[in-house]
Amino acid sequence: MKKRALPAVEGGQPVREDFLPFALPSIGEKEIEEVVDTLRSGWLTVGPKTKRFAEMVAVYIGVERAAALSSCTAGLHLGMRVLGVGQGDEVILPALNFIAGPNCAIHLGATPVLVDVDPDTLNVTPETVAAAITERTKLVVPVHFGGRPVDIDGIMEVARSRGIPVLGDAAHAMGADYGGRKVGSVADATSFSFYVTKGITTGEGGSLTSPNADLIERVTVLSLHGMTGSAWNRYSERGSWFYEVQEPGYKYNMTDIEAALGIHQMEKVNEFRERREEIARAFDSGLRPKDAISVPAPCGSCKHAWHLYPIQLEPDLLKIDRDSFIKNLRDEGIGTSVHFIPVHYHGYYGKRLDYGRGSFPVTEEFFERAVSLPIYPSMSDGDVNDVIEAVCKLVDYYRR
């Protein structure tokens, strides 16, 4: 029998001497030069580069207009508001979810209604959505988990048959497509994240897209306190000082400094997605033979954005739990994370929504077994091989 390599935590040699972070942005010279140009221009807040970036997002997604915002959370909040969510309403969201979406529903006086996910896609399905609809349901907010597109056609059909709009949470899904259509072009509105770990980055930032240009116009106004004139409209050489507040809004705009990064990130969005897919294929090839872990299910005809690559441990086949596995990987020089703590596991939501453990078995089992591996464009082939080697080393050593 081949001797199993001793893990670093047990005194063995680590796979890497230098630590591989879980996520890093890919920033080039063009982005740096554009930011410097912005700083030298004297125009730092929402202005011409923010407008240019929003236009680039719209063209890429295939819609007439997009709103450039301060975060994906801002897009979810504004999207919920313009789609009519208010006091006493219900908003359907997955239990496997970051807390941004549920928080936005709460802020608008609505109740998040959580649903379980499909064990293969980790997304909500038309069937789970349909089962959760009540007479109080005002909105459905499916998450494209990890960058895998949801069955948006099926969900839209269920929702529209009952007169309910759909707001996509595409924080993970910039560059993904479903049936040859970009995520963000089909739902009533879709919110994207450009946080530093995402498919493209503006540092912080987000965007809301919609096939409905009037909806985006209202969101854009609401993102600037509800004012009819932005700073660019008021203070540029062709602007006017006058503005009017038609309804109370928020301070949710993107800035030109952020947009300067995004302009050149948008030029690379397909390149970044393709590199992530290359890494995912390498992980599939290197890790699928190990029966003590499961890798993500194939995406079929859809185009996955591969923001996340979560493996799942098979607890019956390993002498180590998930948290110890993560610690072992860190000692091997590999950064990881877990996505996500189920919404109802957080103290506030467990009490507010009266969901106990066991309410969402697929979500809960996934959370207990999941480890998200590093997957980002600046990883070298050597980095990718190190991740595979470290995971296989631990699986082999701790195999029952």
Report the catalytic residues. Answer: 198
Exposure on the CB side of residue 374, measured as CA atoms within 13 A: 29
How long a stretch of residues is the chain?
A: 400
- HEC string of 77-138? HHHHHHCCCCCCCEEEEECCCCCHHHHHHHHCCCEEEEECCCCCCCCCCHHHHHHHCCCCEE
Q: Is 351 exposed, middle or buried (0-12, 13-18, 19+ CB in 10 A)?
A: exposed
Amino acid present at 210: S
CA distances from 307 to 9, 58, 197, 310, 375 (A): 29, 21, 8, 10, 7
- Extended beta strands in 253-320, E state: 293-294, 309-313
Alpha-carbon span 196 to 204, nearest angstrom: 7
